[in-house]
Amino acid sequence: MKKIVLTILTVAALGRAYAQNPPAAKPQAGAIALTGATIHVGTGQVINNGVIVFDKGIITAIGDANTPTTGASVINVSGKHVYPGLISPAATVGLQEYASVRATLDFNEVGVINPNIRALVAYNTDSEVIPTIRNNGVLLTQAMPLGGTISGSSSIMQTDGWNWEDAVLKKDDGIWLNWPGYYSREFNFEDFSVGLRKNSRREAAINSLLATFSEAKAYAAQKTVTPINLKFEAMRGLFSGASNLYIRADYAKDIIEAVKFAKEAGVQKIVMVGADEAHRVASFLKDNSIPVILSPLHRLPNRQDEDVDLPYKMPGILQKAGVTVALSYNEEWWRTRNLPFLAGTAAGFGVTDREEALKMITANAAKIMGVDNVVGTLEKGKHATLFVSKGDALDMRTNVVEQVYIQGRTVDLDDKHKRLYKIYKDKYEGQKPLAEKK
């Protein structure tokens, strides 16, 4: 009996071990050269039959077929495509696992004014969602907090690492503000319609924000403060330009009001997030140099009188107006793996070309978040955070990621989806069709 129990426990343990995520990648051991590929630099430039060389996690050379590869292990990727690692801004990847299990949700904190809350320390590198997104080329994500009026600070994370200390690329890049708008949406579960209701708490919320930002600005003007106020200390970077203020607002009037509020409060860098009606105030955003992180494009418009494909066209409208645009899946963490296909949709609905659409999930996102000096494009001196795809990464039919490198580390591409595919493929492959069984 004891032997049977031990056998069952051993099998269960092995099964559990098999289901774990692959370990974090080891540091790059030697120089690597990828040759023969079509290289999408991320700046709009495309290098045909190109070569990219990287060592110790840094790109050392990039160019055409004549680029030297001396001393590097050469990997021929002819006929394939090399892209900079895709960046998912405004995401909760790593902060939540199962929507129906409260213990796995770590993006929200009790309270209304929480600038000192850091999403960074809640980032779970063992999340089973993370390997699924990097298998489509998403190698960087912005872990953002939710909830309250001031939610806390976000950080830029790599999708590989033993813990958040290993994974972090940039700590506390900005503070998140949920703007108290004139109206809030109300979902009707009976007919699945969306209605609007007046925000009765708006005035009180704005008065609270006015007081908070006023005190935080006065606090930031002092070099040393005793005792330290954790909330105001977290907001110090907003007034020096070291941190962004990410403002969630959808309606045109709310967008204008929120930007004016932030400017009057002394905030140096403002980013609009969501911005469903950004097309109505595109000139205002351009004149004030406000970049936008859009909500997911694969949805219906919010107003009944708008074009049904307006969300698809939004990136193109803003791009042509001169607004810097990045794309995101926002709170839909498990769908973040489809981020490249948002750019593909944008390319088909008004963005000038596919390379400009690619910038919306690489260079533009990196610039908005202040990490464009190390990631977002494939250039000499930047991190070797890139991937090799069998075809066009923006097309779901040809996005087949075959190699991934994060800071030069070779990343294992196993994930839960692939394991389940293999399990059920093996199960049904040997079975006879139902007609034959009869």
Full DSSP string of 166-218: HHEEEEEEEEEEE---SEEEEEETTTTEEEEEE-TTHHHHHHHHHHHHHHHHH
pLDDT at 187: 66
pLDDT at 8: 47
Instruction: Return the residue matching tokens 């950080």.
Output: 155
Question: Taking all residues of the chain, what is their mean pLDDT, rounded to a whole number?
Answer: 91
pLDDT at 188: 67
- For the ranges 31-40, 46-55, 319-328, 413-422, the lowest mean pLDDT is seen at 413-422
Using an 8 Å Cβ cutoff, are 405 and 387 in contact?
A: yes
pLDDT at 339: 96
pLDDT at 117: 95
Bridge partners (DSSP) listed for residue 87: 140
| Percentage above 90 pLDDT, the chain | 76
Cα separation of 332 and 158, whole Å? 18
Is it the case that residue 12 has pLDDT exceeding 70? no
| 91 class by beta-carbon count within 10 Å (0-12 exposed, 13-18 middle, 19+ buried) | buried
SS3 86: strand
Is it the case that residue 164 has pLDDT exceeding 80? yes
pLDDT at 437: 59
Using an 8 Å Cβ cutoff, are 129 and 333 in contact?
A: yes
Is it the case that residue 343 has pLDDT exceeding 70? yes
Which has the closest alpha carbon to 137: 329, 401, 418, 341?
401
Q: Mean pLDDT over residues 129-140, rounded?
A: 95
Hey, what's the torsion of the CAs at 335, 172, 42, 414, to 10 degrees?
-40
Is it the case that residue 197 has pLDDT exceeding 80? no
Cα separation of 178 and 180, whole Å? 6
pLDDT at 220: 94
Q: Tell me: the pLDDT tens digits for 417-433?
A: 999 999 998 888 877 76
Q: Which residue ranges form the domains of the chain, and what is each CATH number?
A: 86-375 (3.20.20.140)
Cα-based angle 261, 315, 285 (whole degrees, multiple of 5): 25
Which has the closest alpha carbon to 159: 136, 126, 130?
130
Full DSSP string of 332-371: -GGGGGGHHHHHHHHHHTT-S-HHHHHHTTTHHHHHHHT-
Q: Tell me: the pLDDT tens digits for 348-396?
A: 999 989 999 999 999 999 999 999 999 999 999 999 999 999 999 999 9
pLDDT at 337: 94
Cα separation of 382 and 363, whole Å? 12
Confidence band, pLDDT 50/70/90 cuts, at residue 436: low
pLDDT at 256: 97
Phi and psi for 168 in degrees, rounded to 5?
A: -65, 135
Is it the case that residue 180 has pLDDT exceeding 90? yes
